Structure 1
Amino acid sequence: MTLAAPRETRQGRFVTGDGTSLHVEQTGPADAAATLVLVHGWTQDHRTWDRVLPGLPRDVRVVRYDLRGHGLSDPARPGTATIDHLADDLAELLADRAPGGRLVLAGHSMGGMTIMALADRHPGLVADRVAGVGFVATSCCDMDRITLGLPGAAGSGAARIERRLARLLAEYRGEALPLRPAAARAGARWLVFGRRPRRQDVASVADQLLRAHPASVGGFQKAISLHDRRVALAALRTTRAVVLAGEADRLCPVRHAETIAEELPSARFVLYPGAGHMLPQERAAEVAAQLRELTGAAVR
């Protein structure tokens, strides 16, 4: 496989069954033997993978898209800011943009949860076509117990504040988050990065947050807190998988990645010392290398 960045990015729209229009970007040959689909996380968009993309094989088709309520996609319609809806969107997108060939799916944070829900809701699709799965800084359960890396009462209090803010956002009718860019950058720097992040990465994460639809963000936070897909992981036990975790991840702590790896005994587990939640930025080359290995196995 050639490891240069794809020469062309094709942008377009995909409309789901309920009429939600999603922004989609594709690189690589349309007739590739394998398609790698990159799914971003909560409050982010397809730009999550910008640093990873150049390290991916050029002869594999790569599909990135913005989840409903994020980036350039439509807001989530009332009642659809759920991980189940994200999984159904992904199934529809795969049928339209990658109807044939082998699939490798990689998800960061809520993107990983979306893949788990896909295995739960569309097991036939996963069994027939998915040759590899990458779980990047994500969780299969217990997201309602997150303490944001703070000890004792401080952690519990911070988690309560986060849930309260999410409820307020779910009822917010504005089109943009009521947050100044400087505050968004400061919050992102503390919450989702490990040691010594690049300034431009913090700025990108903050910009993606500010582009997300506020009510959708609030709705998805509730969905994340209810997320439990340990049973669904059984559908992936025979699928080649890798589980990547940041040692300093406040949102999806290491123990969450370890739980996924325990449910997938054949999965490769990789821990990155000093890294936080944003592995696609903080450890882009290493994440790309892991995905290259998955896609290489898919086309052999």
Structure 2
Amino acid sequence: MAHGSQNGVSRMNCHPEYYLKDGNITFHVEGTLFRVHRHFFERESQFFIQEFAKTPQGGTSDTSAFRLDEVTAADFTKFLWVWYSPLYRRGSLTEPKEHWLTILELSTKWQFLDMQKLAIDELEKLNIEPIEKITTYDKHKIDKLLLLPAYKLLCKRTTRITDEEGEKLKVPTLLRIFEARDRARSAAEGRHLSSADADKELERILIEVFALNSHATNQQGAQSQTKSDPDPNSKPNPNGNGAANGHKPSGSGSSTQNDKQQQKDADKTKGTVCYSVY
């Protein structure tokens, strides 16, 4: 939960990369101050819009920094990376699975829908073990259609699901995996199915067992409803489509000269010690 600071004096470090001279919102995370751009948080997150409304002056200075609990400074750094990383703007994404899992966790928790979609898109490119993928996607209520390949791999496994793995999966998921596997084996008995045909049959059974067709219909209906009934109070966004664009905030620019200036500003803050009230 984000909230305003409390009385008291603490000696804290400014983050070496994300304590920006032109930032206009300060966060306090694990004894570290982050000064970034409020625009991103208000543009993309209903959670932060509501939190900012509770304390209008919160975060306007180091002494009134918004304190973020239940998140580490390292994880918050990964979260901010989405907006500020030059590598991201060039489209050269080579971050490991753990990096995107952190971004997925925080974007879901704080309701950054565009950033959540970005994290899912990047996780889909990685080779994630089926049980980990199923438990992660279920935890964050991600579209089950994306889990079809993981379900198939579990059904095709020649080894049994261990007790430890079974504890990670929910009972309904386990029962459906067992049902789909048994039905696929029964369907193959007495039939000479090619590998491709057997794979298609298993996929058909999984779609039926997990009701993925109805899930897809519900997803499409929700999207259609959103498009046909826009929020009458919403305003056009002149700054693009959110986190997935990876833009810098307005005023920071993207020219080489401005990039160099920002780097100089960041260098000046490295190792800076800040005194803040919290």
Q: Which has the higher helix share?
A: 2
Query: Please, what TM-score do these two structures have when normalized by structure 2?
Result: 0.26
Q: TM-score, normalised by structure 1?
A: 0.25
